[in-house]
Structure 1
C-alpha cells in the first residue's frame, strides 16, 4: 500500500508539471498573432523534432532494433493526433475564439478520457468517479458561463469557427491520450522518455511536410525582424518546455497512474492555461472563474480519493 501511495503521489506531481508546461501553448498564439496557426505549429514541431533527434542520437543504435512496424505506425498516428492536428486546431481556436473559450472546451478532456478509461480492465468503476466528473463539469460550466456572457467584438462566424476548432482539438487529444497511455503500458522494452523523444522525431518529420504549405508564398518582408525573432523564440520555447519536458513528465505520469486518473491530471493544463491567461491580461479572475478553479481542483482531489485503496478492517 505504501508503494502504491508513493507511486500515486509521484504520478500526480509529474501530471501537474506536465500541465504547467502544456498550459503555455494556449498563450503562444496570442504572443505571435501576426503568424498563422499552421506556421506556428510547423515551427514549433520542427524545433521539437531537431531537439528530440539530438537527444536520442547517442542511443539510436541500441534503440532502433527494439522498434518494429507496429511501434512506428503507432508513433505516426500519435504524433499526428496529439501534436500536429491538435495544435493547429488549438491555435486556430485561440486566435478566433480566445483563450477562455479554448481552455473551457479543452477542459472537457478529463471527462472524455475518464469515460473511455473507465471501460478498461482494472479501472475504477464509473460510479466511484461520479463526484469527480460532476465537479469537473460544474467547473467547466462556470468558465463557459463567464466566457459566453462576456461582450465580444469578434464576428459570430469567427467565434463559431473557433469553437468548432476547439472541439476538433478536444477529439484529437482524447484519442492521443488514450492511445499513448495504452502503448506505454505495452512498451516494457522502451522507456517513457525515449518514447517521448521518438514521438518528437516523427512529429518533426511531419512538421517538415507541414512547413511547405504553411510558409509557401510567405516572405521575410511580410513581418518585421522583431516579429520574426519573437516567433522563433516562442516556437523554440514551446519545443523545449511544452514538447520535450511536458511530454516527458506526462509519459512518466502515464506509467505511474491508471488511465482514469490520468484523465484527472489533464485538469492541471486547464488551470495553468487560465492562470497564464489572467497574467497576460493583467487581471484577477472573476468570481465565476475563481469558483471554476476551485471546482476543478476539487475534481482532481476527488479523483485521487477514488483511486485510494479501501482501508483494511481488523477483527
Structure 2
C-alpha cells in the first residue's frame, strides 16, 4: 500500500511551475529524427531552493496532459508535430517512475521525432496541464513542482549549402619556418555558405578538423593523407591572422532572417612549424564545415 501511494499521480496543485525553453526555434523541415534541437536546464536551487534535492519520483505526461495517462518512455511527444521532449537527471533520461536524488541541473531536450515536422506552439496546452511533475521531500512534507514547455517551433523548407573547395598554399622554404610556432606561405580564401533560405533566427557554422583537434594548437589541422613533410602542419586563421576557432558554433553575422542569401567569410591558411625537427615535403590538412540552425 505504501508503494502504491508513492507512485499515484499527484492530485494536488503543483507547488512550483517551471517553464522550459520559451524561445522561437526555426528548424529545417527535413531535420533527421533523433536530432537534439534545443536544451534547457533547471537548477536544484530553482526546484527546491537547495544545492541538492531529495527527489523521489517523476511523472511524465505526453502532450502535456497532466490529467491523462503517464508514460514510462524516456522521450515523450509534445503538442507540436515532429517535436518530442526528453528529461535527464544527473545525465540519465527518465520517464514516469522512481528517480535518483538530484545534485546537478535537470536537462530538458527538444528532440526531432518521426512525425511530420509541421511547427507550432509548445504553449498549446491547457493552463493547469504540465509535461512533468517531480516529487521531492523536505523534512516531513512532499512537494510537487511541475514543468511546462513554452516557445514556438517554425519548420522551414531548405537549408544552406557549403561547396567543397581546395585551398593551395604556395611553396615555401623549410628554413623560413625556423622555430616552433613560426608561420609562412599565407594563402587567403573564403568560406562560402550559399543559398540560405529566409526564416531562421540564427545560422551558425562549426569548423571540424579531419582527424580531430590538436591540444594546445589552436587552428592547426592534423596531417592528412598524402603528407610527406614532418614537423610542419597547416594552421587555419581568420582574416586578421588569429587562429580559427575549431569545434564551436560561430554565428553567421551577415545572415538576415527576412532576406536569407549567400555569404563569403574571409579566412586564410598558412604553414606552421610544430616540432623541433622538421623535414620538407607535402603538407595536407582538411576540415569539415558543419551548419546549425535555430
Quick one: higher RCO (CA 8 Å, sep 6+), 1 or 2? 1
Tell me, yes or no, whether TM beats 0.5: no
CA radius of gyration, larger in:
2
What TM-score bracket applies, with the shorter chain setting the length?
under 0.3
- The TM-score with structure 1 as length reference comes to 0.26
> Which structure has greater helix proportion?
1
> Which structure has greater strand proportion?
2
